[in-house]
A and B are shown apart, each in its own frame.
Chain A
Amino acid sequence: MTALRLALAYARRRPLSTLLVVALLAIGVATVTLTLLLSRELADRLTRDATGIDLVVGAKGSPLQIVLAGVYHVDVPPGNIPLAAIGELRANPLVREVIPLALGDSFRGFRIVGTEPALVAHYGATLRDGRLWQAPLEAVVGSAVAAATGVGVGAAFAGSHGLAEGGGEHGDARYRVTGVLAPTGTVLDRLVLTALDSVWAVHEHHTGEEHDENEAEPEREVTLALVRYASPLAAATLPRAIDRDTALVAASPAYETARLMTVFGAGLDLIRAFALLLVVASGFMLFVALAQALEDRRYDLAILRALGASRRRVASVLLIESLALTLVGTVAGIALAHAAALGIGLVLPDAAPLSAAARRWLPEEWAVVALALGAGILAALWPAWRAMRVDVAAVLADN
């Protein structure tokens, strides 16, 4: 008959109050943990997608818009830039690598990106199936695209105009899938990659009728350029030089991402503060439950002392009871949060990497456990102290 067994027997004795305390704590802990998982996954993803991209160069527009469109593929790009600008950037000794991107079409909500194989290499992606594109209108799809649309090597599809679903189809220019990428956990999973030529071909074909056959080749354009510096020195001069000397805008993903995180962060902090309030509230609930139990159990505590339990032993029963309930609530809450993250990742294809994050244990979760157990100890302190002070003889003689 350990103190733990006795504590659990008491907890079983009042199932409703026990359940309420545990459930409230579990919800609080789950919310805190889920915000931790989400913000970590968000930060990781923003970092992962932007890794190795020092600068995104685009047409005049907001730098945040350029980064969102060029790195995360969530916003529309501000406009196009001449292909010549890519050549100029490549000629710059401060630049190590330039990857051009041509945006504009999508396939069932997934963006079709005209680019060079360097983009695939940049994210370290490998082919799960087939081969990279070699000719215009050949495409390679990311793993999430393949999973969501069911297209595989050999499939053909038409891109629709615009970056969202429901634009007019380019029905006469059909892409053929030549490869499927293995999952990378980056934005690449959600992209359809093709050659720059494909994008040009689709759009020229589209508007070709209006052009005079004899006209000179139309001026080639791309949408954005991802730039990697040759040396850290470039950070000091290159963006300013581009902004000053050209009609282009240079945006730093690191800087814009940090700005973005402060916006998201404020929201997550608010949710977390609310969740902490839940944990504190469940601590109070636990305190009330224990204080109530103390009154109900004055005779029990006295008889424990009469049977040979020391003051400390009696206090430890309440403390252990509180800790046991807190531990159950905390474990349930953390399990709930991980299950929720896993579920969200499975249900929402865009959040798929969250399933992977759900299988991870964050160091911050130790802080959540410590916080909850601390609340449990705090809630039990006063009732435990009162239990120690019970006047055994007076209680036993009170007839």
Chain B
Amino acid sequence: MFELTNVSHGYGATHAVTVPAWRAGAGEAWLLAGPSGCGKSTVLHILAGLIVPAQGTVVVAGTDVRALSEGARDRWRGCTIGLVPQRLHLVGALDVRDNLRLAQSLPGMPQDDARITALLAAVGVAHLAHRYPRELSQGQAQRVAVARAVVNRPALLLADEPTANLDDAHAAQALELLRTQAIEAGATLVVASHDRRVRPLLPREFALPVEDEPLFAQRDAETPRSESRGRLGASAPSVKEPGR
């Protein structure tokens, strides 16, 4: 489904994230693990085509993301990727239904109100279709954000820290919702989280390395590759995959 190879990208002022190799198959559900600030969001954004990494290849759903022009990448993202950002970011000026319509129209998908109605019912917020985001509780808003992410039946569903600020019961519900909707949409799921409670709920895990010091060398484009590789080897990410 997607494959990251030798991906390396600087973020923030002094940090860099590296992914030597990560392959995921269609329909799989992954935890992208690692402590706060280790670059999980950056990896999610690389998978979403929002960031083009400084190095490495990114192939998602058969598309070499780096080869796309910016405009093509925007359209591709709208059709292929479903993103649930940590702060949800529903558009406040639009009601719930229009938020979903917006997600359909931006990448140029045909408007399908029946799909929206069915989806809102599936995530349990059918009665909130005409509410505005400020009138929703955190949990309701998250359901809407998930619905918005899967409305175009993306191949890859990405969620950034979906359990932050949720109690145990709601955290489990949020994960369940993401898994169900990913299966329903036929999407591969990647949940970026540092939350220990998430770990047992997802079968596969890709752990980003903990950075013990800022990687100035990796941020420098002039740095020879061999040195980067040396560092990569020293803190290679671990991959936990059941049954492999």
Contact = CB atoms under 8 A, between A and B. Distances in A.
Interface in B49-88: 50-51, 70-71, 74-79, 83, 85-87
Contacts of B148: 307
Interface in A346-363: none
Which size bracket describes the interface of B in this complex?
A: 35 or more
A12 interface: yes
Contacts of B78: 307-309
Contacts, number: 95
B111 interface: yes
B101 interface: yes
Interface in A6-24: 6, 9-10, 12-13
Contact of A399 (B87, B91, B104, B111): B87
A393 B50 contact: yes
Contacts of A299: 87, 89
Nearest to B164: A399
Interface residues of A, number: 27
Contacts of A303: 85, 89-91
A305 B89 contact: no
A306 B83 contact: yes
15 contacts: A1-B98, A1-B104, A1-B106, A6-B102, A9-B94, A12-B93, A300-B92, A303-B85, A303-B89, A307-B78, A308-B76, A308-B78, A310-B71, A396-B85, A396-B87
B8 interface: no
Contact of A307 (B51, B86, B103): B103
Contacts of A300: 89, 91-93
A306 B102 contact: no
Nearest to A399: B86
Interface of B: 11, 41-42, 45, 48, 50-51, 70-71, 74-79, 83, 85-87, 89-94, 98, 101-108, 111, 148, 160
Given A1-B111, A6-B93, A397-B42, A308 B77 contact: yes
Given A307-B106, A392-B50, 4 more contacts: A9-B94, A13-B93, A304-B102, A309-B74
B100 to A, nearest CB: 9
A396 B88 CA distance: 9
